[in-house]
Amino acid sequence: MSKVKINVAKPFNFQKGGQVQHIKKGEQEVTADVAEHAKARGYLVGSKKSAATAPDAEQPAAQ
């Protein structure tokens, strides 16, 4: 299985087939399954999900 480099902003656990893998913060080399999971859950540096939870500075507050 090929490996992919990712930059993890928040450590997380990945579980598949009864095996749990702890992924540490920082640059990691992981499988594509782990990389996809991290991206979807917002664990990566600059992840869209992380940015979506932060208030948008360009959008005015609702009145």
pLDDT digits 0-9 by tens, 13-35: 999 999 999 999 999 999 999 99
Per the confidence metrics, is the pTM higher than 0.85?
no
Beta strands in 1-63 (DSSP E): 3-8, 12-16, 19-23, 26-31
- Taking the C-alpha atoms of residue 52 and residue 55, their distance in angstroms, rounded to an integer, is 7
Token pair recorded at residue 3: 């490996």
> What sections of 1-63 are H helices per DSSP?
32-41, 48-53
> Which pLDDT tens digit goes with each residue over 5-15?
999 999 999 99
